[in-house]
Amino acid sequence: MKRTIARLLKGFILVTVAVSLLVGCQNASGNSAGKKPGANVESDYVEGKELLCLVDTQEEAEAIAKQYGITLVEFSYGVATFHTDDNPNDVIAMGIKLGYPELSLNGTVHAY
């Protein structure tokens, strides 16, 4: 009897943790009520350091900045941070279209 209760309790805890992780990840990615998945919200990135790219060297980061026509703000520990005056999402889309090294949005995540 005690083993059955312990198993049920373990199962309940595992399911609860799994559901919490799924819901938390969904909200952290910006899919909350009233928002379409994949919707771009311009205010959700860090001003002045809008774009990121993982690179091995500062020279590689400088080459990527030149390729995109954006400004290298910082290179540290393999992460290059860039600034653009254009819409960051448009810059990312352009890079994908032209086959440039992939940039990502330096976004902010808001807790519930």
Backbone angles phi, psi at 22, to 5 degrees: -65, -45
pLDDT of residue 38: 44
Q: Which has more confidence, 111 or 59?
A: 59
Mean per-residue pLDDT of the chain = 75
Give pLDDT, residue 47: 79
- CATH code of the domain made up of 44-112: 3.30.70
Q: In this predicted model, what pLDDT tens digit does every residue of 24-79 receive, in sequence order?
A: 333 333 443 334 344 444 447 777 788 999 999 999 999 999 999 999 999 999 99
Alpha carbons 41 and 91: distance in angstroms, whole number: 14
